[in-house]
Amino acid sequence: MAAAVAKATENGSAAAEIGRPTNPMVTPMLTDLYQFTMAYAYWKAGKHLDRAVFDLYFRKNPFGGEYTVFAGLEECIHFIANFKLKDEDITFLKSVMPTIHEEGFFDYLKEIDCSDVEVYAIPEGSVVFPKVPLMRVEGPVAVVQLLETPFINLVNYASLVTTNAARHRFVAGKSKILLEFGLRRAQGPDGGISASKYTYIGGFDATSNVAAGKLFGIPLRGTHSHAFVSSYMSIDEILDKALKSHDGSRVCEDFVSLVQTWLSRIQLAGSLHGVFGETNQSELAAFTSYALAFPHNFLALVDTYDVMRSGLPNFCAVALALNSLGYKPSGIRLDSGDLAYQSNEARKFFRAIEKEFGIAGFGEMAITASNDLNEETIDALNKQGHEVDAYGIGTYLVTCYAQAALGCVFKLVEINNQPRIKLSEDIAKVSIPCKKRCFRLYGKEGYPLVDIISGESEPPPKAGERILCRHPFNESKRAYVVPQRVEELLKCYWPGNSCKPREELPSIKKIRTRCMQQLEQMRPDHMRRLNPTPYKVSVSGKLYNFIHFLWLNEAPVGELQ
């Protein structure tokens, strides 16, 4: 691999400061066997250097929505910057393609890198739509073919889970804190790591995943589990009971007694309308112990035994004890049951405590909810009315449970300057031929109006000039548009050996910011959860005519019998 990087560096413009893929398993071997068998067939036919153009795109927005967020580009660029087969890879390939006896082919494989490849892409974190190429990949057909599987793999899930995160942010609202808690339920180790990265880009605030925090600098969050609570038997287990006050001016020698005193005060206060028998003592011990370890950010999981009869009073006793030493407790987490009801009751209880004991701000204690949350349950909570400040979301977010795959494809659209089309009985599966440019046209109100795809040699649309936008396959759907602003979508992220300037790969924070801005600028009816309006994707008049000319040319004429 070192050689590959060195070589890429020699290429100057290309790989100089480009890193490696996050997952070391992302190598040229992470591809389908048929990419190698095709590479051989191309080589054998002397076609392997034919200059091909492939488009990577998807056909349908996920989750019943009308938008998608494009992600995964940086990993693709890191992948091709380091593309090089190792000797052991070649040995393995020989063993699985035993009928190939030409050493020359394997010598060729050994030599290839991506210096003859060019990659144009929409910036990562952009809002994107079906049929518009997210990436246009040009290069020797045999090499570009080898990139197909890893590129789709790196883009599919990344875009899917970023979109899922954006949808969860949309329904939760801007004011809520969103925490990604999905590592344990993710589809494998880097299902987890990618989920943490891309849900952050899609608008989450933090993750529980330590490895992702370390790799990407994503803020980390987490407190304790039910097991921590049930690992305590009684308050007597706490041996070191001393706690220094927040300002360091004094030491409370018996924090346990302080907690117990506060618990009695809560139990006796008439205004709290509490019906507290004994609270669970394991839980009280666990909370007290956790507060001794984290007095600055005490957040407790209150549903191990019974939220209202045990978790809440125990939490408040510990929180009030901390408060009396100058600390500001962080809040509670609810992980089961009726979250709307419990959060409302908890809020009432916190406010009553604030009033009863005159503790300013106690009523606004943060309430985090978790437990199998998704778009629908958050929407239901909103309709019901709740007091949740933060959501911890796992399974449904990271596995994209509502729709576990995005169907990105990678289609040949031109070879040796000849446009190619892939036909299908299903019109949605017919590919748009030609090497293309893509533009987003903006209207007067600043919203994007339509994306338009044109042939590479056509003059680009101009602000203030009328242009005809046609549906690629439906003759009757067309409209004139006078854009206020025109944005070219595909930019060069990998110029290979060409002298074209290369777009910088932005930091994860910048990608996240782009994503937030892009979502923000969409017309609201495209974004709503129920019956969103489809965003229009069109082709130029010239490209329309060419598609249909080629289609008729390639399709056999049927004969009814």
Residues between 262 and 291 that touch a copy of itself (CB under 8 A)? 275, 277-280, 282, 289-290
Residue 255 CB, nearest approach to a copy of itself (Å): 12
Nearest residue to 133 via CA among 59, 81, 52: 59
411 binds a copy of itself (CB under 8 A): yes
Is residue 240 within the footprint of a copy of itself (CB under 8 A)? yes
The CA R_g of the chain, rounded to the nearest whole Å, is 29
Instruction: Single out the residue of 373, 231, 254, 229 nearest to residue 306, CA to CA.
Output: 229
Does position 225 interact with a copy of itself (CB under 8 A)? The reply is yes
Position among 60, 110, 429, 466 found at the interface with a copy of itself (CB under 8 A): 429
Interaction of residue 368 with a copy of itself, rule CB under 8 A: no
| Count of Cβ atoms closer than 10 Å to residue 327 Cβ | 20
Pick the piece of the chain touching a copy of itself (CB under 8 A) from 19-27, 114-122, 357-365, 439-447.
19-27
Choosing from 108, 305, 341, 551, the residue that interacts with a copy of itself (CB under 8 A) is 305
CB of 299 to a copy of itself, least distance (A): 10
Site string for a copy of itself, 499-528 (x = CB under 8 A): ------------------------------
Binding of residue 154 to a copy of itself (CB under 8 A): yes
**Structure letter (DSSP) for residue 400:** T
Q: How far is the CB of 153 from a copy of itself (least distance, A)?
A: 5
297 binds a copy of itself (CB under 8 A): yes
Three-state SS annotation for 190-207: HHHHHHHHHHHHCCCCEE
Residue linked to tokens 């591809």: 31
Q: Which residues pair with 220 in a beta bridge?
A: 207
> Tokens for 220?
């980390």
| Residue with Cβ nearer a copy of itself (149 or 513) | 149
Where in 34-185 does DSSP place strands (E)?
Answer: 51-57, 68-69, 118-121, 127-128, 135-140, 177-180
CB of 93 to a copy of itself, least distance (A): 8
As measured in angstroms, the least distance from the Cβ of 40 to a copy of itself is: 6
Q: How far apart are CA 446 and CA 443, in angstroms?
A: 5
Distance separating alpha carbons of residues 257 and 242, to the nearest angstrom:
10
Residue 257's alpha-carbon distances to 238, 254, 318, in angstroms, are 11, 6, 10
What region, left, alpha or beta, does residue 131 occupy, with left being phi > 0 and alpha being psi -120 to 50 degrees? Answer: left
CA dist., res. 23 & res. 249, Å (int): 49
Q: Does 149 bind a copy of itself (CB under 8 A)?
A: yes
Least spacing, CB of residue 465 vs a copy of itself, in Å: 35
Interface pick for a copy of itself out of 257, 385, 401, 428 (rule CB under 8 A): 401
Q: Which amino acid would we find at residue 48?
A: H
326: phi > 0 → left, psi -120 to 50 → alpha, else beta; which? left
Neighbours of 301 (CB within 10 A): 24
The least distance separating a copy of itself from the CB of residue 9, rounded to whole angstroms, comes to: 24
Q: Which stretch binds a copy of itself (CB under 8 A): 111-119, 254-262, 294-302, 462-470?
A: 294-302
- Considering beta carbons, is residue 341 or 447 the nearer one to a copy of itself? 341
Contact between residue 323 and residue 329 where contact means Cβ atoms under 8 Å apart: yes
Residue 89 or residue 503: which is nearer to a copy of itself going by CB? 89
Please report, as residue ranges, which positions from 48 to 107 form the binding site for a copy of itself (by CB under 8 A): 50, 52, 54, 89, 92-93, 96, 99
The number of angstroms, rounded, from the C-alpha of 316 to the middle of its chain's C-alpha atoms is 36
For residue 284, the surrounding DSSP H or E stretch is helix 281-293
From 414-422, 438-446, 455-463, 531-539, give the range in contact with a copy of itself by CB under 8 A.
Answer: 414-422
Which one of 212-220, 255-263, 348-356, 510-518 is the stretch in contact with a copy of itself (CB under 8 A)? 212-220
- Out of 69, 128, 421, 449, the only residue in the binding site for a copy of itself (CB under 8 A) is 421
CB of 321 to a copy of itself, least distance (A): 16
Cα torsion angle, 163, 166, 172, 178, sign: positive
- Which residue, 186 or 469, is less far from a copy of itself as judged by CB? 186
Judged by CB under 8 A, the chain residues 23 through 52 that form the site for a copy of itself are: 23-27, 29-38, 40-42, 44-47, 50, 52
User: β-strand 390-393 against 118-121: which pairing, if any?
Assistant: unpaired
CA angle, 336 then 341 then 347, to 5°: 105
One of 145, 323, 538, 540 touching a copy of itself (CB under 8 A): 145
Please state the closest distance from residue 265 (CB atom) to a copy of itself, in A.
Answer: 20
> x/- contact string, 177-206, with a copy of itself (CB under 8 A)?
----x-xxxxxxxxxxxx------------
Secondary structure of residue 127 in the 3-state scheme: strand
Smallest gap from residue 386 Cβ to a copy of itself (A): 18
- Phi/psi for 263 (5° steps) reads -65, -45
- Inter-residue contact 456 to 436 (CB < 8 Å): yes
Q: Could you say which of 420, 471, 478, 485 contacts a copy of itself (CB under 8 A)?
A: 420
